[in-house]
Amino acid sequence: MQIVTAQQIRSVLDWTGVLDALRAGHAGARPIGGSYFVGDAGFGLFSRGVILPGKGAGFKVASLCPGNQFASPARPTEQSAFLVVDEHSRSLVAMLDGPEITRWKTAADSALAATKLSREDSEVLLVLGAGPVALALAEVYLHIRPSLREVLLWNRTLSKLDEMRAILESRDVRVRVVEDLDAAVARADIVTAATGAATPVIRGERVRPGTHVDLVGGYRPDMQEADCDALRGARIFVDDRENASVSGDILIPMQAQVIQAQQIEADLFELCQDTAFHREAADRTVYKNAGGAYLDLLVSQYVVERSRS
């Protein structure tokens, strides 16, 4: 079995290739799978398994401990691995570094949807969060929307943004760290959040017409990055209906009867296959990125193919 490190993954990937791999994967059959979580907000074990007909299978296992970020020295909050099962032999053929695959697939998931859901003339990007996924989201949005002229960064602890700001500025990107989140939301054309917040940080009353809101960080029923008003009157999309329905960003507004399940217009498979999709300039769009093991599988298979070649 091939073992692929984070460094090896980074050496063979770029955003164009990853987005193409995900786009091709969404043109075929839907995945069969399930997930399992045991624990609480302090520590949990998480796993997802998937069979993608005609593509193979895979399994993710993760240890999640948010408190690790406060250790001295800090430790990763997520430690995980992804296993790839060959379509023909049914053998375990590769084990890949989980956090690195997560970084690429999560950001590409949001970006693939945003190629349709965000305005092509978007100029201001607001990124909430300071972790590796937040940086990846900034990078991939700059890749798909060359019109972006400014990136705003926000995090509860502003000092944690120093590294991200330096990385982006080294690539000749205009970056500004913001303290007033409400004002930043009101300015942004695209808002992408990877915070893991349990209490909403995005207030819907500050979201302008035409803005695309991308919710990434929440994966539990008690996690909510945007309040219910952010979804009220918006066009709502998800990557996976089942996974999204148990995340607080969708579940809590449903329980409050602010939205109903039928208001979710499309999932990522439907978005990718809908050649007639159209959005008006004034449409407010919300996308719930709930993830899925099939996304890890598609990116992992792409890594294995690239590394072999």
Map out the domains of the chain as residue ranges.
Answer: 2-102+294-308, 107-292
Residue 275 gets which letter from DSSP?
T
Residue 18 has pLDDT above 90, yes or no: yes
Nearest to 55 by CA among 308, 305, 309: 305
Cα separation, 24 vs 9, in Å, equals 20
* pLDDT tens track for 242-289: 889 989 999 999 999 999 999 999 999 999 999 999 999 999 999 999
3-state helix, strand, coil in the chain (%, to 5): 40, 25, 35
Of the ranges 27-36, 62-71, 289-298, which is most confident?
Answer: 289-298
> How many other CB atoms are found less than 10 A from the CB of residue 14?
12
Which of the two residues, 234 and 48, has the higher pLDDT score? 234
Query: What is the per-residue pLDDT for 72?
Result: 87
Averaged pLDDT for residues 120-126: 98
Cα separation, 110 vs 16, in Å, equals 14
Look over the chain and give the mean of its residue pLDDT values, rounded to a whole number: 94
> How many other CB atoms are found less than 10 A from the CB of residue 266?
19
- Rounded to two decimals, the pTM is 0.93
Domain 2-102+294-308 part of CATH 3.40.190.10 = no
The H or E element containing residue 71 is none
* pLDDT tens track for 154-213: 999 999 999 999 999 998 899 999 999 999 999 999 999 999 898 999 999 999 999 999
Cα separation, 111 vs 272, in Å, equals 12
- Domain spanning 107-292 has what CATH number? 3.40.50.720
Residue 218 has pLDDT above 90, yes or no: no
User: What percent of the chain is modeled with pLDDT above 70?
Assistant: 100
User: What percent of the chain is modeled with pLDDT above 90?
Assistant: 82
Report the DSSP pairing between strands 150-154 and 124-128. parallel
- Do the first three CATH levels of 2-102+294-308 and 107-292 match, i.e. the same topology? no
